[in-house]
Amino acid sequence: MTGTTISLLCSTLAVVGGPSESPQFGYLNQPAYSIDKCPRPPFVAYRPQPGDIILYSDSNIAWATLYAIAGTGAPGHSGLVTRMSDGELGVLEAGYNDKPWVRFIRLDERLPSYKGTCWVRRRKSPISAEQSQILTEFAETIDGHRYGVLRLLAQLTPIRKRGPLRLYVMGKARGVRDTYICSEAVLEGLVLAGLLDAETTRPSATYPRDLFFDSSPNRYLNRHFKLCGDWEIPQLWRRGP
Residue range 57-82: average pLDDT? 79
CB 107 within 8 A of CB 25: yes
Residue 15: predicted pLDDT: 38
Higher confidence at residue 2 or residue 106? 106
Question: For residues 105, 23, 33 and 58, what is the CA-based torsion angle, rounded to 10 degrees?
Answer: -40
Instruction: List the domain range (segments joined by +) for residue 152.
Output: 3-238
β-sheet bridge partners, residue 103 = 93
Percentage of the chain exceeding pLDDT 90: 71
Please check the confidence at residue 14 and state whether its pLDDT lies above 60: no
Please check the confidence at residue 170 and state whether its pLDDT lies above 60: yes
The structure's pTM equals 0.87
pLDDT tens digits for range 212-232: 999 998 899 999 999 999 999
pLDDT tens digits for range 17-45: 344 467 899 999 999 999 999 999 999 99
Residue 150: predicted pLDDT: 83
Contacts of 156 (CB under 8 A, 6+ apart): 66, 69, 70
Please check the confidence at residue 153 and state whether its pLDDT lies above 90: no
Residue range 121-136: average pLDDT? 98
- Which parts of the chain are beta strand (E)? 27-28, 44-45, 53-57, 77-83, 89-94, 102-106, 117-121, 146-147, 179-180, 235-238
pLDDT tens digits for range 87-125: 999 999 999 999 999 999 999 999 999 999 999 999 999
Percentage of the chain exceeding pLDDT 70: 82
DSSP calls for 26-89: SEEPPP-S--S----SSPEE----TT-EEEEE---HHHHHHHHHHT--S--EEEEEEE-TTS-E
Residue 70: predicted pLDDT: 64
Q: Can you give the CATH number for the domain in which 126 is found?
A: 3.90.1720
Residue 86 — φ and ψ, nearest 5°? -90, 5
Please check the confidence at residue 208 and state whether its pLDDT lies above 90: yes
Residue 74: predicted pLDDT: 85
- The order of strands in the sheet holding 53-57 is 44-45, 27-28, 235-238, 117-121, 53-57, 77-83, 89-94, 102-106
| CA of residue 200 relative to chain centroid, distance | 17
Residue range 188-199: average pLDDT? 98
Question: For residues 38, 39, 44 and 46, what is the CA-based torsion angle, rounded to 10 degrees?
Answer: 40
Residue 69: predicted pLDDT: 63
Please check the confidence at residue 9 and state whether its pLDDT lies above 80: no
- Tell me how far apart the alpha carbons of residues 166 and 222 are, in angstroms, rounded to a whole number: 14
Angle between helical axes of 129-142 and 3-17 (0-180°, round to 10)? 120
- As for how many domains the chain has, the answer is 1
Rg (CA), the chain: 17
- Judged on CB neighbours under 10 Å (0-12, 13-18, 19+), 186 is buried
Angle between helical axes of 129-142 and 182-192 (0-180°, round to 10)? 140
Cis preceding linkage at 75, omega within 30: yes
